[in-house]
Homo-oligomer: A and B are copies of this chain.
Amino acid sequence: MQLKRSKFEINLNPIQRGGILTKEAREALIEFADGYSVCDFCPGRLDLIEKPDIKKFVHEELPEFLGCDLARTTNGAREAMFAVMNSLKVAEKNKSQIVLADGNAHYSSYIAAERAGLDIEIVENSGYPEYKIDVENFEEKIDLNKPVLVLLTYPDGNYGNFPNVKKLSKICKNKGIPLLLNCAYSMGRLEIKLNKLGVDFLIGSGHKSMAASGPIGVLGFNKEWEKIILRKSRYFPNKEIEMLGCSSRGPSIITLIASFPIVRERIKYWNKEVEKARYFSGEMEKLGLKQLGEKPHNHDLMFFEAKPIYEISKKHKKRGYFLYHELKKRGIGGIKPGLTKNFKISTYQLTKEEIDRVVKAFGEIVK
């Protein structure tokens, strides 16, 4: 069956901008396209394969990149969150069955907890217009709930806000509660080091921020958690239970590995990405749109409240769909068809010229 993608010259979808493959990943994908093709020389477990060198990547390069002792790849960031929660549920079965998360947590954080049979309690954000997480509010809720895990989203996928993780990690250390940091929108975009941040678990997403085709996630942690997270099968002593033996087999891992040298390099230029985002935010506000979330903004993912565009949509014959079509005409995509009142945009890895083209398009549309 022939399957074609409607491509846009400029795609603004925040979930997609960090997952565009590098040339190297595209070549590796074609080379290792067939099912199980990374398993030609498997010694019994995916992360131990040396040809291609998955072993070096998982056991040396990833931990070094993340500033932690151990790393594994999973079938996605949500699957990595689930692996941690499911492990803690088993290991801490006499403790409370509650995950305490920030109010900006991705929906899959809730569902991972539900799948593991855990309840979830929330530390609310500050509401309109910044929706910030004040990590000091965790303290009381930790005392109240005695959670098995604290989860912080860094940044969240709605507003691109960065809460104060170092302060929270101190609180969690004092209380003796492990802290999981969901870095699906940061690992692969900026430097994320477990030991510097003081957290227990780092979660990343290959297809969201590490130039991999996916689905693939990354999980980093220190040795103190090894026996819990990487507990072995009682029937097959070489196999790790939470990985179901092997996790991200195939093209998912090969694209992650192939892009990795470029990803490792690109995080050095994160300040340029923040500059571009702030410039874009400023230009959009000149058009009468309002950027919600932290200001000045610290991430390429931006949430806009677009009253002028919403007003147009009310009178337009295409209604809410007019924005999608007007942008499409100009080679721009990534905002969900139908949305006008609020939408998210990412400028990650767009050039200055591309950003100006987007601003110009919105300018024409607003007029």
Contact = CB atoms under 8 A, between A and B. Distances in A.
Nearest to A210: B35
A214 B16 CA distance: 20
Contacts of A37: 5, 16, 19
Interface string A254-277: 110111110000000000000000
A165 interface: no
Nearest to A208: B35
Contacts of A86: 115
A107 to B, nearest CB: 5
Interface stretch (A169-177, A193-201, A242-250): A242-250
Oligomeric state, in copies: 2
Contact of A34 (B19, B248, B336): B19
B241 A114 contact: yes
A252 B107 CA distance: 22
Interface residues of A, number: 82
Interface stretch (A20-28, A124-132, A153-161): A20-28
Given A19-B36, A35-B206, A244 B112 contact: yes
16 contacts: A3-B254, A5-B37, A13-B39, A16-B34, A16-B35, A29-B251, A35-B214, A75-B76, A82-B244, A111-B236, A111-B244, A114-B233, A120-B235, A213-B250, A214-B250, A250-B252
